């Protein structure tokens, strides 16, 4: 079964941590971008994660519908069917969910999985993210406790954010300031509230200068060493090496060394969104410029159906995005590390 079972997902994450590599987590908004991700994982011989944000889920449901649950369920259904053709394991994840969207996104999807598990079936998604970066730390952890109790019973992994990712993604916006750096105290408070696995497995997005989007060199200062400081302090408290399963958000435009350092410090999942979007769109632009008199009916001509057929440039877009994801697999060292 190409969509990972809960046991296989746990095995994926354990293998990444033990082998010092990380999985690309690719934001998708359509079956085209889903196809690109699956093709890339297969080419790189890497297992991976496909994820959908609140905005992506709304778009998947149809621009006139904008129903996050409908879009998410549709993506999961498509992924379960399409992924059967690929020789890799893929986990399904929901990305950033702020407090205002919990009741229209994560909680309803959790309820669906709870019903499925009660019937002896597998959960619909393998992990969900709660983004509490915009609320006070205490409230962030209280909501995380409530969600962790539910996700653990449904064989789902919870992802939380401790700290703030700068920039903007799907309406969640944060300034670029000192709050971009999670503290050791934040890490200790997290393990105090959520435990070190005994209350259920969770992944932690600790921030070390991360910013959504792409910025010119010098505008963003990443400090991966913060991850080691927090892992060491929390590890000393709970008697466990690298106790947190870390997630790297806002990584578009990061250097190879910054990515490598983050993985060395326990990152096992890295979100790839902005770079993948550009890689998808760039070949379409090239096609349009090169074939403007074919995609347009210029000066009374009829154009060229082969040029404006969406499949013509859609294939190019998927190939461009897939190439960028293969590059991510190589940078994150997941290439060649699929479950046999």
Residue 19: closest CA among 262, 334, 339, 257: 334
* Residue 158 three-state SS: strand
Q: Is 95 a catalytic residue?
A: yes
Per DSSP, the residues of 202-245 read EEEEE-BS-BSS---TTS----THHHHHHHHHHHHHHT-SS-SE
Residues 246/332, Cβ–Cβ less than 8 Å: no
Asked if 39 and 53 touch (Cβ cutoff 8 Å), the reply is no
Exactly one of 14, 47, 95, 264 is catalytic; name it. 95
Q: In whole angstroms, what is the distance from residue 166 CA to residue 81 CA? A: 36
Give exposure, 23-34, as e/b (b: 16+ Cβ within 10 Å). bbbbbbbeebbb
What the block records as the tokens of 253 is: 């435009």
Return d(Cα 97, Cα 177) in angstroms, integer. 22
Residues in Cβ contact with 132 at an 8 Å cutoff, skipping those fewer than 6 apart: 98, 99, 139, 140, 141, 143, 144, 160, 161
Q: What are 140's two structure tokens?
A: 């962030």
Q: Nearest Cα to 221, choosing from 254, 257, 192?
A: 254
Cα dist from 260 to 256, 266, 329, whole Å? 6, 10, 12
Catalytic amino acids? 95
């Amino acid at each position: 079964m190409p969509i990972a079972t809960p046991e296989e997902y746990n095995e994926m994450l354990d293998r990444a941590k033990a082998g010092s590599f990380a999985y690309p987590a690719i934001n998708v908004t359509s079956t085209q971008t889903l196809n690109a991700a699956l093709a890339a994982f297969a080419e790189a011989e890497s297992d991976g994660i496909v994820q959908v944000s609140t905005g992506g889920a709304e778009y998947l449901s149809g621009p006139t519908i904008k129903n996050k649950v409908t879009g998410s369920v549709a993506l999961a259904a498509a992924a379960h069917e399409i992924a059967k053709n690929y020789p890799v394991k893929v986990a399904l994840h929901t990305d950033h969910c702020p407090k205002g969207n919990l009741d229209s996104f994560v909680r309803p999807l959790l309820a669906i999985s709870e019903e499925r598990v009660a019937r002896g079936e597998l959960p619909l998604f393998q992990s969900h993210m709660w983004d509490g970066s915009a609320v006070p730390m205490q409230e962030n952890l209280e909501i995380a406790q409530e969600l962790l109790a539910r996700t653990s019973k449904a064989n789902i992994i919870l992802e939380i954010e401790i700290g703030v990712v700068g920039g903007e993604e799907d309406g969640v916006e944060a300034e670029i300031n000192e709050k971009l750096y999670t503290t050791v105290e934040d890490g200790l408070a997290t393990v105090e509230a959520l435990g070190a696995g005994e209350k259920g497995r969770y992944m932690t997005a600790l921030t070390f200068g991360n910013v959504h989007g792409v910025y010119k060199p010098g505008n963003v200062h990443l400090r991966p060493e913060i991850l080691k400081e927090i892992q060491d302090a929390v590890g000393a408290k709970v008697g466990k090496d690298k106790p947190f399963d870390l997630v790297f958000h806002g990584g578009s435009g990061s250097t190879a060394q910054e990515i490598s350092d983050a993985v060395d410090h326990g990152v096992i999942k890295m979100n790839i969104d902005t770079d993948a979007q550009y890689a998808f769109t760039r070949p379409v632009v090239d096609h349009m410029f090169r074939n403007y008199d074919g995609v347009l009916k210029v000066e009374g001509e009829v154009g060229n159906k082969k040029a404006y057929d969406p499949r013509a440039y859609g294939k190019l877009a998927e190939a461009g995005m897939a190439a960028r994801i293969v590059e991510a697999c190589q940078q994150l060292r997941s290439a060649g590390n699929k479950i046999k």
